[in-house]
Amino acid sequence: MGRLRAYFLAGVLVTAPIAITVYLGWWFISFIDGTVRPLIPARYNPEAYLPFSLPGIGVAVLIVVLTLIGAFAAGYVGRLLLRLGEGVVGRMPVVRSVYGATKQIVETILANKSTAFREVVMVEFPRHGMWSLGFITGPAHPEVQRVSSEEMVNVFIPCAPPTAGYLVIMARSEVVVLDMPVEDGLKLVVSGGIVSPPDRHPRALKDVPPPERRRA
């Protein structure tokens, strides 16, 4: 019975990650297909001529459409229409705020030189002596920087699981930068600490300096 139990747990460990990954991928493809497929004209839809359904056709159409939109927006006429459209949106009181914030966030994330979520840090939050894992998202706003003589940074502290989080603005000297890839930090947060990435630089515990000595 002990050996059968070990085999069963080994099967779960092997199958669960694959099953969850396939399920999430299939759910994403099905969601895109269900949204895009009704928008495809019947005469251009290959499923109208085939006796079976083609999974992923909505994703393929979406990729092609986004590529064509990007190519059009890169031209002179596209840039002109884009400026006109942004001018119209800029005159709408509520819509312009949502559009401007969304555009800035997307441009920051997709920028090749973006520094957002490039550093995994530890901060004393929500109280002294209690440490939380966070990510530096960028320098503080100039208006915020004026209230302090120290360099201030924006730190996003996600919840576990990361459905929400907190934005804290603090001095860089109070931030402990970890030698940890962002992927490992996200794994640690998503799993609630269950999945602990391996130490890339194993050292004796006595050689590890306390956080107070490692602050920049």
What are the pLDDT digits (tens) for 16-29?
A: 888 988 998 899 98
What are the pLDDT digits (tens) for 159-183?
A: 876 678 888 998 988 999 998 888 8
**Is residue 210 predicted with pLDDT exceeding 60?**
no
pLDDT at 209: 56
The closest of 87, 116, 88, 117 to 104, measured between CA atoms, is 116
**Is residue 213 predicted with pLDDT exceeding 50?**
no
**Is residue 202 predicted with pLDDT exceeding 70?**
no
Whether 55 is in a domain gets the answer no
**Is residue 130 predicted with pLDDT exceeding 80?**
yes
Whether 87 is in a domain gets the answer no
**Is residue 42 predicted with pLDDT exceeding 70?**
yes
Whether 189 is in a domain gets the answer yes
pLDDT at 121: 92
pLDDT at 112: 56
Residue found under tokens 């490039």: 118
What are the pLDDT digits (tens) for 70-92?
A: 898 888 888 898 889 888 888 88
Whether 131 is in a domain gets the answer yes
pLDDT band at 7 (very low <50, low <70, confident <90, very high): confident
Q: Count of CB atoms within 10 A of residue 28's CB?
A: 11
pLDDT at 215: 53
Per the DSSP assignment, residues forming a β-bridge with 124 are: 131
Whether 133 is in a domain gets the answer yes
pLDDT at 179: 87
Comparing 106 with 113, the larger pLDDT belongs to 106
Which contacts (CB < 8 Å, 24+ apart) does range 49-58 have? 55/29, 55/30, 56/29, 57/33, 58/29, 58/32, 58/33, 58/34
pLDDT at 205: 46
* Nearest-angstrom CA–CA distance, 140 and 153: 5
Written as one letter, the residue type at 178 is L
Whether 66 is in a domain gets the answer no
What are the pLDDT digits (tens) for 98-108?
A: 888 888 777 76
Whether 9 is in a domain gets the answer no
Whether 168 is in a domain gets the answer yes
Domain of 190, in residue numbers: 119-214
Instruction: Return mean pLDDT, the chain.
Output: 82
Q: In the chain, how many domains are there?
A: 1
**Is residue 2 predicted with pLDDT exceeding 70?**
yes
* Beta-sheet strands, E only, within the chain: 119-124, 131-139, 152-158, 165-171, 176-177
* Residues of the chain above pLDDT 90, percent: 12
